[in-house]
């Protein structure tokens, strides 16, 4: 603590340089937080997926339907607790920019298979009685200012003419965990079945299968696919996390992209701050020599340089992360629900601070070692 | 009492025996000091003079433990410093040596008080004790009222006074002054020399000083001349008589 005044005085020696270095740390940490949040938004589905759920789709592609008649056959397979089916609606609410995912759901089994998405009991009962009823995710309801009882027209772009289907908001669901997707819009399967063209009746988009035990996953998946092998609608069954991961892969290798951008940021920051620290140490060669002459040990000088670099990293990092905490919710709104919840978790903030301190220490290390090895007589000769 | 080139007194504060220092520049070996012997007693004020490159500063660096000799030994207050590790030597410097340099070498972002306090931060003294020591040192150099000024707010002479306060604040065994007046005008130089004289006469400090300036050297009790790495002459400036038959 008694050396803190010396460290602080050195930090504030060149205020403009200090501000610029803090700025570069802040921007880098903001970018770090943003990339971490986007990566989580893309890959979070796989991480949140239940180990007790399987997804069965048409073997050709998810856009090819599979028969509704498969449901009972799947339900009879040992190890299966319950089965539900969904279909993508892909409608437009007011404007194409207002994207949110809409699904025709099987009300009988939806809550058994997805218990983490909570709908108040009275709202759910109203939904069951209402053919045009719909349940909206809390984020989507908040985004459009929907309330229970509101009538919501959604234009279909896939089924029939470009007409609007009208829904009534009977309930709003919340996720148990902050990361749960609260952007979906569910409506009655019967209403969907009634209005789709004749050729699509009796078909569904996919099944979600809830297992008694995650240990049964491989066996049940194989049994389901074997059951429908050599039929006109062969299936492909995989765990929910594998399904979510392959869904993300459709967008390209997001993880690699984020890792690449992150690495570029890391090394650029390392070079910028390393150069700044090197200049700062070079400017103070004489002063460091004096400190050593009057009895400061080599490792003390190294620690002073590391402390300065780490202090810059910590303050700059905190500023960047604070900026990210403020900006990311606004960013989520601006993205119009294109990505699920953008959540900057505590672990991300901790990782960001760790990253900042690592860069700070690394950038101070080489100049610090130079200062540590400095011979007083050589330094005094240069003054 | 200062003794040159003989065995001197074994109880001397500073004992230098057969001191050699050789530098390598390119492929060439340059012998800066050649078999130098020297004894300095407690309370002596010695000036080293000589042309550029004669080895004055090198000698001072060796005496202060900032450099290591090629051969020979330096002992201060019974501690032989020539074979100490770098870490031990640093600790030894903190306890025994006060440095005063030509360019003052204060930390510009610290106040006079904070600059003087720097050596004390290495000790276990409490904050109040440190304050007491710093205020005493600044009073001795006559800058108690300017303790919260930064170096840029002080004149050259005042900066050098702060540097002297920094050198004496930990009550070292001896002071090593490398051209302490080299960057000052005559009036300021006189004031600094008066201060150094007072440290010797009133506070019993031992001072070894390098200077080019004969007027400044004349203020020391003894002046030693270095030429081509050899102490060739010693002259009495004041009351202390050079012993050992030199010059």
Q: Taking 70 as the threshold, does the pLDDT of residue B9 lie above it?
A: no
Residue B244 distance to chain A (closest CA, Å)? 32
pLDDT given at position A92: 92
The distance of A269 to chain B (nearest Cα, Å) reads 27
Give the count of domains, chain A. 2
Q: What is the torsion angle, in degrees rounded to the nearest 10, for the CA atoms of residue B52, residue B55, residue B59 and residue B65?
A: 90
State whether A214 and A269 are in the same domain.
no
Beta-sheet pairing, A164-175 with A133-137:
parallel
* B225 occurs within a structural domain: yes
Per-chain mean pLDDT for chain B: 89
ipTM: 0.89
Residue B243 is given by DSSP the state B
Write the burial class of residue B4 (CB in 10 Å: 0-12 exposed, 13-18 middle, 19+ buried).
buried
- Whole-number pLDDT of residue A265: 82
**Contact assessment for residue B161 and residue B142, using Cβ atoms and an 8 Å cutoff:** yes
Task: Judge whether B1 lies within some domain.
Answer: no
pLDDT for res B242: 40
Is there a contact between A295 and B105 if contact means CB atoms under 8 Å apart? no
Structural domain of residue B192, as residue ranges? 42-65+88-236
Is residue A245 one of the residues assigned to a domain?
A: no
The 10s digit of each residue's pLDDT in B106-115 is 999 999 999 9
On whether both A98 and A28 belong to a single domain, the answer is no
Q: Do both A275 and A321 map to the same domain?
A: yes
Give the global pTM: 0.72
Q: Which residue in A110, A91, A44 sits closest to A247, CA to CA?
A: A44
Between A and B, how many residue pairs show a Cβ–Cβ distance under 8 A?
Answer: 64
Is the pLDDT at B247 greater than 60, yes or no? Answer: no
Q: What is the predicted pLDDT for the residue at B236?
A: 60
Contact residues on chain B for A6, CB-CB shorter than 8 A: 107, 110, 114, 118, 121
For residue A132, being part of any structural domain is answered with yes
- In angstroms, the CA A17 to CA A280 distance is 10
- The answer, for A3 touching chain B at a CB cutoff of 8 Å, is yes
B33, part of any domain: no
Identify whether residues A41 and A80 lie together within a single domain.
no
Strand duo A151-155 + B71-76: pairing? unpaired
**A294 with B93: Cβ contact below 8 A:** yes
Return the CATH number at B188. Answer: 3.40.50.300
Q: What pLDDT is attached to residue B69? A: 94
- In this structure, the answer to whether residues A149 and A283 fall within a common structural domain is no
Cα angle value A132/A135/A136 (rounded, 5°): 125
User: How many domains is chain B partitioned into structurally?
Assistant: 1
8-state DSSP, A196:
S
Query: B236 in helix, strand or coil?
Result: strand
Question: Would you call A5 an interface residue with chain B, using a CB distance cutoff of 8 Å?
Answer: yes
* A272 and A313 both lie in a single domain: yes
pLDDT of the residue at A232: 93
Return the pLDDT at A60.
Answer: 93
Provide the pLDDT for residue B111.
Answer: 96
**By the 8 A CB rule, do A25 and A362 touch?**
no
pLDDT attached to residue B230? 87
For B110, which of A6, A295, A377 is closest by C-beta distance?
A: A6
The interface residues of chain A toward chain B in range 348-377, judged by CB-CB distance below 8 A, are 376-377
Ramachandran sector of residue B179 (left: φ over 0; alpha: ψ -120 to 50; beta: rest): left
B193-205 pLDDT, tens digit each:
999 999 999 999 9
Residues A133 and A269 in one domain: no
Is there a single domain that holds both residue A216 and residue A306? no
Reported confidence tier of residue B245, pLDDT bands at 50, 70, 90: very low
| Rounded Cα–Cα distance for residues B52 and B182 (Å) | 13
Which of A175, A206, A233 is the last residue in one of the domains? A233
Is B34 within a domain?
no
In a domain, B83, yes or no: no
> From the CA of B94, how many Å to the nearest CA of chain A?
4
Q: Which of B49, B45, B87 is nearest to B238 (CA)?
A: B45
Query: Is A242 within the bounds of a domain?
Result: no
Residues A32 and A161 in one domain: no
Inter-chain CB proximity A290 and B119 less than 8 Å:
no
CA of A298 vs chain B CAs: smallest distance (Å) = 8
Whether residue A213 is found in the same domain as residue A276: no
The beta-strand segments (E) located in A53-158 are 53-58, 66-67, 80-88, 102-105, 117-118, 133-137, 151-155
Please give the span between the terminal C-alpha atoms of chain A, in angstroms, as a whole number.
30
What is residue B220's DSSP assignment? S
| Residue A265 sits in the same domain as residue A211 | no
Domain membership of residue B21 (yes or no) is: no
- Domain of A325 in residue numbering reads as 4-45+252-382
Q: How far is B160 from chain A (nearest CA, A)?
A: 14
Residues of chain A with pLDDT under 70: 44-49, 161-162, 335-341, 382-383
Residues of chain B with pLDDT > 70, as a percent, come to 91
Cα separation, B50 vs B225, whole angstroms: 5
How far is Cα B31 from Cα B21, in angstroms, rounded to an integer? 6
Both A222 and A260 in one domain: the answer is no
Instruction: For residue B98, tell me if it sits in a domain.
Output: yes
For residue B156, pLDDT beyond 50 = yes
Judge: A9–B61 Cβ closer than 8 Å, yes or no: no
């Amino acid at each position: 603590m008694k050396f803190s005044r010396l460290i602080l005085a050195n930090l504030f020696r060149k205020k403009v340089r200090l501000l610029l270095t803090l700025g570069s740390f802040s921007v880098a940490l903001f970018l770090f937080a943003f990339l971490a949040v986007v990566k989580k938004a893309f890959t979070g589905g796989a991480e949140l997926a239940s180990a007790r759920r399987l997804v069965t789709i048409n073997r050709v592609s998810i856009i090819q339907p599979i028969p509704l008649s498969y449901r009972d056959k799947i339900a009879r397979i040992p190890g299966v607790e319950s089965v539900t089916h969904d279909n993508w609606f892909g409608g437009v609410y007011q404007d194409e920019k207002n994207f949110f995912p809409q699904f025709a759901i099987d009300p009988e089994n939806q809550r058994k298979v997805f218990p983490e998405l909570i709908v108040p009991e009275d709202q759910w009962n109203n939904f069951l009685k209402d053919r045009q009823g719909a349940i909206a995710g809390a984020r989507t309801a908040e985004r459009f200012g929907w309330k229970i009882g509101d009538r919501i027209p959604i234009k279909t772009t896939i089924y029939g003419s470009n007409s609007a289907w009208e829904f009534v908001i009977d309930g709003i669901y919340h996720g148990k965990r902050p990361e749960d997707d609260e952007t979906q819009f569910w409506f009655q399967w019967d209403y969907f079945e009634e209005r789709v063209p004749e050729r699509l009746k009796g078909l569904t988009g996919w099944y979600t299968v809830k297992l008694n035990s995650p240990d049964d996953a491989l066996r049940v998946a194989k049994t389901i696919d074997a059951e429908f092998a050599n039929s006109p609608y062969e299936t492909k069954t995989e765990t929910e996390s594998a399904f979510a991961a392959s869904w993300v892969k459709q967008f390209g290798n997001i993880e690699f992209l984020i890792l690449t951008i992150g690495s570029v940021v890391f090394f650029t920051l390392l070079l910028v701050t390393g150069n700044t620290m090197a200049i700062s140490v070079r400017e103070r060669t004489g002063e460091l020599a004096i400190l050593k002459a009057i009895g400061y040990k080599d490792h003390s000088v190294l620690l002073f340089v590391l402390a300065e670099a780490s202090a810059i990293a910590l303050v700059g990092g905190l500023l960047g992360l604070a900026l990210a905490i403020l900006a990311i919710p606004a960013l989520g709104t601006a993205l119009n629900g294109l990505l699920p919840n953008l959540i900057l978790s505590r672990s991300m903030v901790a990782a960001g601070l760790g990253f900042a301190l690592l860069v700070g220490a690394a950038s101070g290390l080489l100049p610090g070692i130079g200062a540590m090895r400095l011979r007083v007589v050589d330094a005094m000769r240069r003054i | 009492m200062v003794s040159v080139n003989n065995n001197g007194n074994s109880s001397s504060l500073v004992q230098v025996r057969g001191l050699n220092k050789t530098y390598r520049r390119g492929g060439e070996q340059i012998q800066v000091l050649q078999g130098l012997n020297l004894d300095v007693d407690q309370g002596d004020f010695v000036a080293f003079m000589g042309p550029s490159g004669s080895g004055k500063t090198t000698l001072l660096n060796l005496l202060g433990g900032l450099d290591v000799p090629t051969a020979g030994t330096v002992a201060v207050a019974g501690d032989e410093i020539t074979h100490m590790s770098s870490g031990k030597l640093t600790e030894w410097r903190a306890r025994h040596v006060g440095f005063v340099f030509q360019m003052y070498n204060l930390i510009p972002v610290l106040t006079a008080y904070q600059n003087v306090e720097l050596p004390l931060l290495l000790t276990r003294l409490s904050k109040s004790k440190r304050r007491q020591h710093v205020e005493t040192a600044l009073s001795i150099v006559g800058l108690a009222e300017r303790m919260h000024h930064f170096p840029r707010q002080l004149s050259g002479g005042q900066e050098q006074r702060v540097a002297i306060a920094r050198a004496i604040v930990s009550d070292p065994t001896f002071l090593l002054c490398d051209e302490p007046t080299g960057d000052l005008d005559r009036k300021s130089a006189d004031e600094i020399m008066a201060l150094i004289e007072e440290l010797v006469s009133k506070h019993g400090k031992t001072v070894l000083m390098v200077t080019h300036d004969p007027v400044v050297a004349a203020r020391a009790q003894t002046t030693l001349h270095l030429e081509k790495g050899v102490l060739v002459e010693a002259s009495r400036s004041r009351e202390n008589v050079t012993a050992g038959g030199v010059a």
